[in-house]
Structure 1
Amino acid sequence: MRVLSEAMRDVDLFVGVASIAADETWEDRGEEGFRAYRRSVSSGPLSGTAEVRRDVLARLLPRLRIGDRCELTERFLRVRGTRAVYRIHLGSADILVEPNDAWLCVVPGPGEAARVTLPFDDERLSVILSKAFLLADDERITDQTILRQLP
């Protein structure tokens, strides 16, 4: 049974990574249906892997220095910054800014990786945590591309 469970986890990881919805820099150059698909995945129901990610965050957040600025909801990690309140989707790692759910584009530059290193393999969780640390301390953001998007 354990072998089947691990095989299914690998399939779930592959499907999640191979999807166009996993690529934050993907530009829609085709039918409108792809844009709608990307939007639905970026804030839709969580996959099995994302559910596990949520469970890990539930145990991890109270131990982090930003834990008091974070709240887990069904699909999002909600982060209170000084400038705004942000919701990071636990499946896609996309960021929505409250109250109107404006999409906030925060992507690592070329050659950069998430700054949070985990003792297990979940790159998306590393990205989510990296974004959470950045947004919890949003008054220190200096990147003009990000600042232009903030209220």
Structure 2
Amino acid sequence: MSEHLHDASWRTAITATLHCLAGCAIGEVLGMVIGTAFGWGNAATVVLSIALAFLFGYSLTMRPVLRAGVALGAAIPIAFAADTVSIAVMEVIDNAFVLIIPGAMNAGLSSALFWGSLVTSLALAFVVTVPVNRWMIGRDKGHAVVHGFHQHTDL
């Protein structure tokens, strides 16, 4: 049995998933708000939300890596290796949830249905992604790639 370099505890997986969720939530909420405010269709809004979720997710992952002195060109592939699977799982779950809730995508920004479905979708995505991250960390993949760059005070 190979020795894993990183703790694959539930606590570590939850911390990694919260880190990923922060970036995803910023991008997802911003994309949904922009798409809804401009009256875009569901497809355009979802594509923007996904693109922004990946952008913000990777950006938050790269912060501690860049602070550790890693060059931008080297930090980008580290972020991709660390968060691509986690962000992808979150995006599939949260967008699918919002799309299946009747009227959620067409509800206005002042609607409880819009915000309730968005918050619920992110919570569901978190719950589904935690075991994925735990499995990946236990195999020195995903968040384990950047674990050494994080200060324990960073999210």
Taking structure 1 as the reference length, the TM-score comes to: 0.27
Higher relative contact order (CA 8 A, sep 6+): 2
Larger-Rg structure: 2
Structure having the higher strand fraction is 1
